[in-house]
Amino acid sequence: MGHPLLDLSDKTAVVIGGTSGIGLALSRGLAQAGANVVPTGRRDEQVRAAAAEVVALGRRSLAETCDVTDNRSIERLLQSACSEFGSVEILVNCAGRTKRMPTLDFPEAEWNAILETNLYGTLRACRVFGRHMIEKHYGRIINIGSLSSFLGLFEVAAYGASKSAVGSLTKTLAIEWATSGVCVNALVPGVLRTNLNAALLDGTERGREFLMRTPMRRFGKIEELAGAAVFLASDAASFVTGHLLVVDGGILASGVNQ
Ligand code: NDP
């Protein structure tokens, strides 16, 4: 038996961006900790496959697509989850996109698309689910930050601006909702190889520099984020809000590594 405060058995979690990479790993982790999990994203086939994974772990799920650029689809998601499970206690905002290009050449449409998904998408979902959680006087929101919430990363200005803003939004919502039983925190992954960044990391100088700067000398595995997410999603985090929990093999702590 695990620690009782970390048990998510009576909880329902919605993981937006939960059909791939980090979000899928977090969906699995929350399900393993006992939660019913609704992993979602824009593509129906991926949503069904992710929901089936939750069911295979012995929990309940629901296959409902969602696009964070569209408020109505987020409202629909909340409604479906509530008709199936009664309420939603946990929200993970993991939908994200990125593009690398020198800032002077970066098309404004692409800049806007990144902000639309990473920042405004997170904001929309926080507002829709946050209102529900405030009504229930209970909620755990986990936004996904990035090393670029803290540091400049070369040629990804739009992504960095979006993720710095996600850090700021997390703190602001945390203090705004602090007396409503809703804890708002961010999980900050270090460098993990996923579909989002494989081309940026595999066999590149950038990949080698990241490894050189990581005291643990390796990329993280997506499963290594699950424990931190379970903690932030649980009753054990009842006095934790506005925190950015970094899981990065030591990058942010490091100065010189040899
Ligand atoms: P993936 O590309 O593997 O997964 C992205 C997920 O988001 C998919 O489920 C995708 O499904 C969904 N998604 C994308 N756009 C939307 C949208 N508009 N509405 C709803 N869902 C959407 O990426 P990662 O797992 O790598 O990244 C997940 C998060 O983690 C991102 O916020 C990223 O910035 C962050 N992160 C990643 C790091 C890494 O090293 N990989 C490091 C730090 C942070 P679909 O396309 O079907 O909509």
Task: Say what the pLDDT of residue 258 is.
Answer: 82
Q: What is the largest CA-CA distance in the chain?
A: 56
CA of 23 to the centre of ligand 1 (A): 7
pLDDT one-digit tens code per residue, 79-89: 999 999 999 99
Question: Which atom number of ligand 1 is nearest to the Cα of residue 192?
Answer: 40
Residue entry with tokens 């593509």: 43
Give this prediction's pTM.
Answer: 0.97
Task: Say what the pLDDT of residue 195 is.
Answer: 80
pLDDT one-digit tens code per residue, 81-130: 999 999 999 999 999 999 999 999 999 999 999 999 999 999 999 999 99
pLDDT one-digit tens code per residue, 202-258: 899 999 999 999 999 999 999 999 999 999 999 999 999 999 999 999 999 999 888
Binding-site residues, ligand 1, Cβ < 6 A: 16-17, 19-23, 41-43, 46, 66-69, 94-97, 117, 121, 144, 146, 189, 191-192, 194-197
- Check whether 196 has a pLDDT greater than 80: no
C-alpha dist (Å) from residue 125 to 30, 66, 99, 122, 247: 19, 10, 23, 5, 23
8 A C-beta contact, residue 238 and residue 244: no
pLDDT one-digit tens code per residue, 6-47: 999 999 999 999 999 999 999 999 999 999 999 999 999 999
